Structure 1
């Protein structure tokens, strides 16, 4: 496999867009409630995706036959993960959120071992340990002794819960439920596959947004900046990143592509410094190095 400029671009765009998603979510936190932001994001994304998924929408019977499996994917991937991330950004910084997200391999290994009986190798366990050390450094805000009496910022805990739901979602994609296994799915293209999940994810997101307004009624503060943010999160992190990542992983393989995920905290730090004036601390750099080392060790 040769890392061509095209392939490098395909694998670099998603981390850049995901980092931007975290920064934008933080920037608009006072203008729109997190659950409402998530619901509008996926509603707009589904509207933009509709022309590419018109076969599925014209005849949704195949998707409805698989409603249980698709509902779980929509609930975890759209209804939980992104909503929890936006909620986390109300008390945590974009850099912390993306660094905690970089511990995803740890959660992948844990879910695989506990739920699917896939035991990690020693090298994978060592890599997971390094990644966890990096996450612990972020949570302790650079003072290891503080871990003995650590007080989690609510956003940190919410982000840990978010990546757990994403790990479960990812394993459900790798080990599909009935009706979505190889040979059992219709001939859907990438847009139709995503739309089949969005059909349910949008419903879950809307219900959560409605409950949010009942519990904590909050008016949306509409502005050109908020509209631009909604367009960005619907197109960039939702559609462009998904498509580029799918093409990049298909060409390079998940092992090589996994290294590019860890560009997300770097991009988040740069974007946060440029737009929000949040300069990274020394422990962010050390944590990032530990997380990258963990990915390198576990992927070799």
Structure 2
């Protein structure tokens, strides 16, 4: 399949960073009410319930999902469960600015994994686009004051983010290289996502079980938590993952990776909105750099 960054692909790839930014803001708001692994488990349980009317048929005994269970176990580990688990672990030991900064390496991992595991070489234009895009993220994180970067101290949590970024990059390349057997399941986004959620729930249950066994886990039910769960299940989980899969299929994983760097920008803008702060000039400059990296990397020779 020929990959092109069409307006439709760009829209599909912009939706997930916006929703994931909302997820970060909501996650911070409800953090006193629920432990991170438990939040991730309930998030995907609610997503499972939402998908059931749309893709419940994939759970039947004669479904094509079960002969491909190994592939979907891997997809689920790299995306719905493992990726978020690593990010939550990172936030236990690493500052949010570090987590976002290290996560900005995703476009580079997209290019390197494509080169070494999927035989897709990275061009000089794509590498330059990665530099521009990461520069935009750094500009947001330091709020236009470059000297703030000198105060960064890398800790163990940053390694978790690095692993999460590498896993997400590999996951995206797997989406772009489906097996012939998975074609019927990919024909409908809800069916394909349900296949990942089913096995992702298994991984998430395992991680939550460990959390409740070895840590001081917490869960305080109430309308604020329920509303948050409904949002992160419908938006950052179901809609975002469906849009990401469609965008990667159209634009390819290398170009798609650059859109992830819109997440910290959207997070900064949403946080500013909730805190009543007006956007600053550096937000606009960062947006220009990130978009320039996307456009440059996706241009054809």
Tell me what 2:184 maps to: 187
| Mapped partners of 1:124, 1:2: distance in 2 | 13
Equivalent position to 2:154, from 152, 155, 171: 152
Aligned to 1:296: 295
Q: Can you list the C-alpha shifts for 1:217-253, whole angstroms capped at 9, x where unaligned?
A: 3221222111111111111111122334555666x74
Q: Which residue of 1 aligns with 2:198?
A: 199
Query: Given that residues 99 and 135 in structure 1 are in contact (C-alpha distance below 8 angstroms), is that contact kept between their aligned partners in structure 2?
Result: yes
Q: Secondary structure at the match of 1:30?
A: coil
How many angstroms does 1:285 deviate by? 6.0
By how many angstroms is 1:209 displaced?
Answer: 0.7
The 2-side partners of 1:89 and 1:224 are apart by: 25
Partner of 2:267: 268
- Structure 2: unaligned runs, 5 residues or longer: none
CA distance in structure 2 between the partners assigned to 1:237 and 1:215 by the alignment = 28
TM-score by length of 2: 0.79
Residue 121 of structure 2 aligns to a residue in which SS?
coil
1: distance between equivalents of 2:30 and 2:161?
18
Give the drift of 1:40: 0.9
Q: Could you say what the CA RMSD is over the residues aligned between the two structures, in angstroms?
A: 3.6
- Aligned position for 1:81: 83
- For the residue of structure 2 that corresponds to 1:187, the secondary structure is helix
In 2 relative to 1, CA 153–216 (structure 1 residues): closer, same or farther, beyond 3 Å?
same
Rate the CA distance shift 1:166–1:24 in 2: closer, same or farther, 3 A.
Answer: same
Contact residue 10 and residue 248 of structure 1 kept, 8 A: yes
Give 1:174's aligned residue: 176
Q: Which residue matches 1:54?
A: 56
| TM-score of the superposed pair, with normalisation by structure 1 | 0.79
Q: How does 1:96-115 map to 2 (within 5 A)?
A: 101-115=103-117
More off after superposition, 108-117 vs 204-213: 108-117
Closer/same/farther in 2, CA of residues 145 and 74 from structure 1, 3 Å limit: closer
* 1:45 match: 47
Give aligned pairs, total.
291
Aligned counterparts of 2:275 and 2:163: Cα–Cα separation in 1: 25
Cα shift at 1:78: 1.2
Q: Per the alignment, do residues 299 and 37 of structure 1 end up closer, same or farther by CA in structure 2, a change over 3 Å counting?
A: same
